[in-house]
Amino acid sequence: MSATGQSQHTTGIAPTTGIAGVGRRGQVLEGPVLQAIGLTKQFKQFTAVDNLSFDVHQGEVLGFLGPNGAGKSTTVGMILGLIKPTSGSVKIAGVDLTSDSSLVAEHIGAIIENPAFYPYLSGRDNLVAHALAVGDVPESRIEDLLKLVNLTERAKDKFKNYSLGMKQRLGIASTLLTEPSLVILDEPTNGLDPAGQREIREIIPRLADEGHSVLLASHMLHEVEQVSDRVAIVRRGRLITEGSVDDMLRRGGYIEVLVPGVDPEAAARVLRRVPVVEQVTIENGRLLVVAPDDAGQALNRALFEQQLIASSIAVKHSTLEDLFLELTEEPQAGA
Amino acid sequence: MLNLLKSELFRMRKRPQTWLLLVVAALFMALFYGGPTVATFFANDANAADLKQNISLVDIRDFGLSLNSLFGGIMLAIFAAGLFGNEYSWNTIRPLLARARSRSALLTAKLSAALLYTVAFTFALAALTVLFSFISTMVAGGDWGFTGERLLDVVWYTFGLVAVNLPYVALAMLAAMWAKSNAAGIGVAIGLSILEPSLFGIFGRFSFVEDIQKGGLNQNTVDLLSNGLTSGDGWINLIVTLIYTGIFVALAYRVFLRRDVTSG
């Protein structure tokens, strides 16, 4: 992953089929694939989404995080043209959605909440039905996609007889029918067993590698952390923070320093004098130093000069879960 | 819109319900003709002669095709309600909308599919009715009463049946979409077809109600079938019936184009 937000995924999985092209029909897009600009949605007195803005760039995976009721599904609904924004706009490939509603069908493939298909049709026929609806999808693409999601052998079975994992995989195949610029996955591993979750986690970076942008709305923070280039965290319909996963994780990180047999306060005083150190706190005899990741050598030198020997200096990054909880936790009543 | 219609027709073809509704209606029709055919063997001469006339092509409008009007209407309401109701119950409406170039294109495709099914279903059931009439007469040993003129009359009558079914089909779709429920669509369409004549039957003694009844949907559908499309009055009834259809379709567009689709 890079600071520019461009994907550098390597999954180690050989592509089973060619999802050729960048964006729809191999089209290379300039600028963000998706721009949400000041999106607001008011349902009577309730503001579900409040002046929300974010971009999704070509070939990146954006993790879209928020607690229940944060407005994620409403936002996805507005992006897909299912819900009309009270104000703000959505641009797809630089074009305003309100001026051309066909943009969604052309540029976006989406699984909304759970993958929903016609129960009386087989997996293959469900893809055929979707392909007919958009038109201009070669028959070979359906077979390629079935192969991609490992459903070729069960393609003739009725959708109603599929396991949840198979339904999710069929959902992902369906999103790729039109070679979309943007794939929206809303809780794609919901209810899956660990093997199923892993399969989906492996597919997502592959989509980005092949040029698709992915908007991944999920509660599975570990999963988002693993596959996303950037994350946007929303609470009560508002964007709280947005940035690259690396930056986010660094933001809550610290360097843990252990100096046994010495008064921790004395060691802390030494470390506070090091120019790159922002803050030093003591917790259970450990020194928690807020400083750049590469400050370890300077910290060690400063201690050594005062004849203090550190037994361990370790960089500790926070997890996305820590950050998410910190940012989205509601203040306690009376606090 | 054509792509969406192709997708609708593909799913219609693959869906068991599409064929099951016709099979059920045909079974009712077979019973309707089978009963009198068997009865001709046990009835006295006068009654047997009446029964043979009933099952012949001579009486097909009042006998077999009247059943087409009743059961066909119910089956078509079930079908039409399912076009939207099932999309909501299966949660497929949002994925489908995301595939559509526009909402109006999706609604137009669904309305076109409903129209095509109504025409195909009504004519298929009419053809089966003619076939049952023929088989029953052969078994009972009467005169089938076949003439080209009578067959043409059946064709015209069947066009009338299509027109009579259309407003109820449109209403079933509208109600199912509005309420996001299959049952609502079926209930409203069948409910109106039962309730309207019942209410006018109760309040019909008042002259002003009689005037209103003349403009009612039920009265015009009944008159359309009895007057037929070969008379001037029949065409007026047809126009009124189509106006009702148009109102239901316009309401469907208004609801569907304005609504936020937050579920289904």
At residue A17 the predicted structure's pLDDT band, cuts being 50, 70 and 90, is very low
Q: Does the pLDDT of residue A7 top 60, yes or no? A: no
At residue A154 the predicted structure's pLDDT band, cuts being 50, 70 and 90, is very high
Whether residue A35 sits in one domain with residue A170: yes
At residue A30 the predicted structure's pLDDT band, cuts being 50, 70 and 90, is low
Three-class secondary structure of residue A158 per DSSP: strand
Q: Which of A116, A120, A134 minimises the CB distance to B16? A: A120
pTM: 0.81
A100-144 residue pLDDT tens: 778 888 888 888 878 889 999 999 999 999 999 988 888 899 999
Query: What is the Cα–Cα distance from A137 to A145, expressed in whole angstroms?
Result: 12
Residue B264 lies in a domain: no
**What integer pLDDT is reported at residue B21 of this predicted model?**
94
Q: Residue B262: its chain A contacts at CB < 8 A?
A: 73-74, 77, 82-83
A172-205 residue pLDDT tens: 899 988 888 899 998 888 777 888 788 888 888 8
Structural domain harbouring B74: 2-258
Residue of B nearest to A160 (CA): B90
- CA dist A177 to A77, A144, A260, B139, Å? 20, 10, 61, 56
Number of other residues whose CB lies within 10 A of the CB of residue B62: 10
Q: Does the pLDDT of residue A8 top 50, yes or no? A: no
Whether residue A132 sits in one domain with residue A35: yes
At residue A28 the predicted structure's pLDDT band, cuts being 50, 70 and 90, is low
pLDDT greater at residue A33 or residue A335: A33
Query: What is the Cα–Cα distance from A48 to A36, expressed in whole angstroms?
Result: 15
The total number of structural domains that make up chain B: 1
User: B176 φ, ψ to 5°?
Assistant: -65, -40
Which are the contacts of A221, defined by CB distance < 8 A and separation ≥ 6? A65, A319, A320, A321, A324
- For residue A210, what is the domain's CATH number? 3.40.50.300
Whether residue A154 sits in one domain with residue A134: yes
Whether residue A221 sits in one domain with residue A270: no
Residue B263 lies in a domain: no
C-beta separation of A197 from A169 below 8 A: no
**What integer pLDDT is reported at residue B14 of this predicted model?**
95
Whether residue A236 sits in one domain with residue A191: yes
Regions of chain B where pLDDT drops below 50: none
String of DSSP letters for chain B: -HHHHHHHHHHHHH-HHHHHHHHHHHHHHHHHHHHHHHHTTTS-HHHHHHHHHHHSGGGTTTTHHHHHHHHHHHHHHHHHHHHHHHHHHTT-HHHHHHHSS-HHHHHHHHHHHHHHHHHHHHHHHHHHHHHHHHHHHHHHT------HHHHHHHHHHHHHHHHHHHHHHHHHHHHHHHHT-HHHHHHHHHHHHHHHHHHHHHHTTSHHHHHHHHTSHHHHHHHHHHH-TTSHHHHHHHHHHHHHHHHHHHHHHHHHHH------
Of residues A24, A34, A32, A31, the one with CA closest to residue A90 = A34
Structural domain harbouring A290: 254-316
At residue A10 the predicted structure's pLDDT band, cuts being 50, 70 and 90, is very low
Residue A90 lies in a domain: yes
Whether residue A273 sits in one domain with residue A235: no
Q: Model ipTM?
A: 0.86
The helix or strand, by DSSP H or E, that contains position A37, with its residue range, turns out to be strand A34-43
Q: Residue B107: its chain A contacts at CB < 8 A?
A: none
Q: Which of B94, B101, B262 minimises the CB distance to A101? A: B101
Of residues B157, B120, B139, B158, the one with CA closest to residue B33 = B139
Considering A243, A277, A298, which residue would you say is the last residue of a domain? A243
Instruction: Judge whether A112 is closer than 8 Å to chain B, CB to CB.
Output: yes
**What integer pLDDT is reported at residue A2 of this predicted model?**
35
Query: What is the Cα–Cα distance from A238 to A39, expressed in whole angstroms?
Result: 10
Query: What is the Cα–Cα distance from B113 to B124, expressed in whole angstroms?
Result: 16
A67-77 residue pLDDT tens: 888 888 899 99
In this structure, of A4-8, A15-19, A153-157, the range with the lowest mean pLDDT score is A15-19
At residue A244 the predicted structure's pLDDT band, cuts being 50, 70 and 90, is confident
At residue A27 the predicted structure's pLDDT band, cuts being 50, 70 and 90, is low
Residue A323 lies in a domain: no
**What integer pLDDT is reported at residue A4 of this predicted model?**
38
Residue A10 lies in a domain: no
Instruction: Judge whether A71 is closer than 8 Å to chain B, CB to CB.
Output: no
- Asked if B3 lies within 8 A of A132 by C-beta distance, the reply is yes
